[in-house]
């Protein structure tokens, strides 16, 4: 699919369809003016008869004559006062879906939302189209879906930067989605390492892989324990983007469980299905590192991935095991299915040793977070409220939802160990919080800006939602990229 900025002169344009955005309660003469006055009445009558509500994701169409287009497609934008970036994404994506149904090849969008946001809206329109177009169809012999080949946007060519940005962000997310959607028999820990190496080679990043022997030297006890029940050994991946004179240093960490069977505390069948998604944090880190290296920011960015498969093989770690971590804290295993925090513990110790300004970890960490916030919202935890609020704001703009949960010290009691310092699970209550408190034990006190994102819900969908198809969403790639770029000053 190709995008073109084609200027604003409708008369010169031809194609299968022209796309017009409609606000709730909007006078339709406005639309008529743009097409031509003969159409106006026809369109108004048409709309009267079909009761078009103009809610976001409402779409309708009418065949056209005497113009360069065969159809006019209308997309609801909801109330003008409530229009935000995600309404624009949803509107552009629902049009794409309709265009595919109608087998249209070439569609021209008016610059949706431009009257409210100026030319930045192009970015969101493009994101909506590309995120909405995404399907994981590598293993399908037949592709049932029609393809839209050409997208025109009615705006001046000088706004090309916004088009590029929209593409850049959506492609980064879609890259991550492709990795997360790969099943556990295709992506093993070593495969994540190979993908990281490939990204590094192509994009001039530094890449270090620690194999099992090195993990022992580095005392990565959590990663070794979690990985030992699988035929496919664990590894630790360190990708680094280091510009000539870096002004700041950031670290991102992603949970890389290529499949989570639960280990000896085996998951019941309804919870095991979809557990290929347990590497979503890791794949987000890969997507972000790949994207960032194309932009040459002036800050240093490290991407860390502890990678393992959580399986119940003969060598598997067990309940009652006690692991002594590199920071001397001992952990009593109560449930082998709470494995994410164990591999992240090693990664957070390693991250702290890099002495960065900020650490952001992302992980499909707890079912409890989904219970607390629902399937569409990630939990966000931090020792820095200001940073947390910044990320909330960027997330909102990206259409990736986060909601703060507290690092409630009163709940620390829940993870106090009997024979070890701490245990790897708390009670039934506040499971997302006790997991975050566990992680905090491994973030050095000197790190003043730490963010933990529990993406267990939104990273992977069991049904389509908004512009996302069933499967991986790429959350939180767009939020973190946008935030990093903002921090770097690449975007004000
Ligand atoms: N990978 C799961 C969490 C998860 C659940 C991710 C649903 C995505 C969707 C994690 O390793 C896990 O199994 N957590 C347990 C922890 C429990 C044993 C304390 C959980 O949430 O049930
Ligand atoms: Zn688990
Ligand atoms: Zn897991």
Q: What is the CATH number of the domain that holds 175?
A: 3.40.630.10
Among the bound ligands, name the one nearest to the CA of residue 433.
1
Give the whole-angstrom CA distance, residue 262 versus residue 272.
8
For residues 7 and 135, state if they share a domain: yes
Domain limits at 471? Answer: 169-487
For residues 101 and 234, state if they share a domain: no
Last residue of a domain, one of 125, 155, 185: 155
Give the whole-angstrom CA distance, residue 200 versus residue 132.
28
Q: Angle of helix 160-181 relative to helix 477-488, nearest 10 degrees? A: 140
The answer to the question of residue 162 being in a domain is no
For residues 133 and 271, state if they share a domain: no
Q: Is the CB of 278 under 6 A from ligand 1?
A: yes
Q: Is the CB of 319 under 6 A from ligand 1?
A: no
The answer to the question of residue 203 being in a domain is yes
Give the whole-angstrom CA distance, residue 46 versus residue 73.
12
If one residue of 282, 367, 368 were mutated to test the ligand 1 pocket, choosing by the most ligand atoms within 8 A of its CB, it would be 367
The answer to the question of residue 120 being in a domain is yes
Among the bound ligands, name the one nearest to the CA of residue 337.
2
- Whole-number CA gyration radius for the chain: 24
For residues 317 and 384, state if they share a domain: yes
For residue 38, what pLDDT is reported? Answer: 66
Distance 343 CA to ligand 1 centre (A): 14
Report which protein residue has its CA nearest ligand 1's atom 13: 337
Last residue of a domain, one of 91, 125, 155: 155
Half-sphere exposure (Cβ direction) of 397: Cα atoms closer than 13 Å: 19
Catalytic residue, chosen from 248, 267, 393, 412, is 267
Number of domains in the chain: 2
- Tell me which residue of 331, 357, 328, 358 sits closest to 343, measured CA to CA: 331
Distance 131 CA to ligand 1 centre (A): 27
Q: Are 455 and 362 in contact (CB under 8 A)?
A: yes
If one residue of 344, 366, 431 were mutated to test the ligand 1 pocket, choosing by the most ligand atoms within 8 A of its CB, it would be 366
Report which protein residue has its CA nearest ligand 1's atom 5: 367
Q: Is the CB of 454 under 6 A from ligand 1?
A: no
Give the whole-angstrom CA distance, residue 102 versus residue 116.
30
Among the bound ligands, name the one nearest to the CA of residue 428.
1
Ligand 1 atom nearest to 267, measured from its CA: 13
Residue with tokens 């590094």: 200
Among the bound ligands, name the one nearest to the CA of residue 364.
1
Among the bound ligands, name the one nearest to the CA of residue 308.
3
CA dihedral 291, 294, 300, 306 (to 10 degrees): 40
Tokens representing 474 are 């790429």
Buried b (16+ CB within 10 A) or exposed e, 6-26: beeebeebebbbbbbbbbbee
For residues 337 and 392, state if they share a domain: yes
Residue with tokens 């192509």: 202
Quick check: helix, strand or coil at residue 248?
Answer: coil
Assess whether 90 carries a catalytic annotation.
Answer: no
The answer to the question of residue 59 being in a domain is yes
For residue 34, what pLDDT is reported? Answer: 65
If one residue of 338, 362, 369, 376 were mutated to test the ligand 1 pocket, choosing by the most ligand atoms within 8 A of its CB, it would be 338
Give the whole-angstrom CA distance, residue 232 versus residue 220.
17
Cβ neighbours for 436, distance < 8 A, ≥ 6 positions apart: 365, 379, 381, 405, 407, 452, 454
Query: pLDDT per residue over 54-108, tens digit each?
Result: 999 999 999 988 778 999 999 999 999 999 999 999 999 999 999 999 999 999 9
Ligand 1 atom nearest to 262, measured from its CA: 13
For residues 227 and 305, state if they share a domain: yes
Distance 386 CA to ligand 3 centre (A): 29
Q: Please, where are the H alpha helices in 155-279?
A: 160-181, 189-203, 212-217, 221-227, 269-272
Ligand 1 atom nearest to 339, measured from its CA: 11
Ligand 1 atom nearest to 425, measured from its CA: 19
Catalytic residue, chosen from 177, 290, 341, 423, is 341
For residues 427 and 358, state if they share a domain: yes
Last residue of a domain, one of 127, 155, 183: 155
Residues surrounding ion ligand 2 at CB below 5 Å: 260, 337, 339
Q: Is the CB of 415 under 6 A from ligand 1?
A: no
The answer to the question of residue 160 being in a domain is no
Q: Is the CB of 340 under 6 A from ligand 1?
A: yes
Task: Beginning with the edge strand found earlier in the chain, give each strand of the sheet holding 2-5 in spatial order.
Answer: 2-5, 150-154, 106-110, 15-23, 69-78, 59-63
- Tell me which residue of 199, 39, 134 sits closest to 478, measured CA to CA: 134
Assess whether 267 carries a catalytic annotation.
Answer: yes
Distance 347 CA to ligand 1 centre (A): 19
For residues 207 and 275, state if they share a domain: yes
Distance 436 CA to ligand 2 centre (A): 15
The answer to the question of residue 164 being in a domain is no
The answer to the question of residue 14 being in a domain is yes
For residues 112 and 209, state if they share a domain: no
Give pLDDT tens digits along the chain (492 positions): 999 999 988 888 889 999 999 999 887 666 666 666 667 777 778 877 887 889 999 999 999 887 789 999 999 999 999 999 999 999 999 999 999 999 999 999 999 999 999 999 999 999 999 999 999 999 999 888 899 999 999 999 999 999 999 999 999 999 999 999 999 999 999 999 999 999 999 999 999 999 999 999 999 999 999 999 999 999 999 999 999 999 999 999 999 999 999 999 999 999 999 999 999 999 999 999 999 999 889 999 999 999 999 999 999 999 999 999 999 999 999 999 999 999 999 999 999 999 999 999 999 999 999 999 999 999 999 999 999 999 999 999 999 999 999 999 999 999 999 999 999 999 999 999 999 999 999 999 999 999 999 999 999 999 999 999 999 999 999 999 999 999 988 553
Q: Is the CB of 338 under 6 A from ligand 1?
A: yes
Ligand 1 atom nearest to 364, measured from its CA: 6
For residues 105 and 224, state if they share a domain: no
The answer to the question of residue 340 being in a domain is yes
For residues 19 and 130, state if they share a domain: yes
For residue 490, what pLDDT is reported? Answer: 59
For residue 492, what pLDDT is reported? Answer: 39
Q: Which CATH number do you get for residue 147? A: 3.40.220.10
Ligand 1 atom nearest to 277, measured from its CA: 8
For residues 111 and 214, state if they share a domain: no
Per the DSSP assignment, residues forming a β-bridge with 206 are 240
């Amino acid at each position: 699919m190709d995008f073109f900025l084609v200027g604003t002169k409708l008369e010169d344009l031809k194609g299968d369809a022209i796309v017009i955005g409609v606000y709730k309660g909007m006078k339709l003469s406005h639309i008529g003016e743009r097409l031509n006055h003969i159409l106006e009445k026809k369109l108004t009558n048409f709309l009267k008869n079909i009761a078009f509500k103009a809610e976001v994701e409402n779409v309708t169409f009418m065949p056209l004559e005497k113009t360069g287009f065969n159809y006019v497609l209308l997309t609801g934008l909801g109330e003008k006062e409530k229009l935000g970036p995600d309404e624009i994404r949803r509107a552009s994506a629902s049009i794409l879906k309709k265009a595919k149904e109608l087998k249209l090849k070439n569609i021209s969008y008016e610059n949706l939302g431009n009257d409210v946001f100026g030319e930045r809206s192009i970015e969101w329109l493009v994101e909506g189209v590309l995120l909405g177009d995404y399907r994981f169809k590598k293993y399908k012999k037949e592709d049932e879906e029609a393809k839209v080949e050409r997208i025109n946007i009615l705006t001046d060519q000088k706004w090309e930067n916004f088009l590029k940005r929209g593409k850049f962000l959506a492609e980064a997310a879609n890259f991550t989605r492709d990795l997360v959607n790969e099943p556990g028999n295709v992506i093993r820990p070593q495969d994540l390492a190979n993908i990281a190496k490939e990204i590094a080679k192509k994009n001039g990043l530094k890449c270090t892989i620690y194999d099992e022997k090195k993990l022992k030297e580095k005392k990565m006890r959590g990663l070794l324990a979690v990985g030992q029940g699988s035929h496919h050994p664990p590894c630790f991946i360190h990708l680094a983007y280091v510009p000539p004179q870096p002004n700041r240093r950031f670290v991102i960490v992603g949970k890389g469980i290529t499949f989570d069977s639960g280990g000896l505390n085996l998951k019941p069948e309804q919870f095991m299905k979809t557990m290929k998604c347990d590497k979503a944090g890791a794949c987000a880190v890969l997507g972000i590192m790949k994207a960032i290296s194309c932009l040459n920011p002036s800050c240093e960015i490290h991407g860390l991935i502890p990678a393992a498969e959580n399986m119940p093989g003969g060598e598997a770690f067990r309940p009652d095991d006690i692991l002594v971590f590199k920071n001397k804290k001992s952990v009593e295993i109560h449930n082998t299915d709470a494995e994410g925090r164990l591999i992240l513990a090693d990664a957070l110790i390693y991250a702290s040793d890099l002495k960065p300004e900020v650490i952001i970890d992302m992980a499909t960490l707890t079912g409890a977070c989904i219970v607390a916030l629902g399937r569409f919202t990630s939990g966000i935890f931090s020792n820095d409220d200001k940073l947390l609020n910044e990320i909330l704001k960027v997330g909102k703009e990206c259409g990736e939802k986060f909601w703060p949960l507290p690092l409630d010290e009163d709940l620390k009691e829940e993870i106090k160990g009997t024979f070890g310092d701490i245990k790897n699970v708390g009670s039934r209550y506040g499971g997302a919080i006790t997991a975050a408190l566990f992680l905090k034990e491994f973030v050095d006190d000197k790190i003043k800006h730490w963010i933990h994102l529990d993406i267990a819900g939104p990273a992977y969908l069991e049904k389509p939602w908004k512009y996302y198809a069933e499967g991986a969403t790429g959350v939180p790639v767009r939020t973190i990229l946008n935030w990093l770029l903002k921090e770097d000053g690449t975007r004000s």
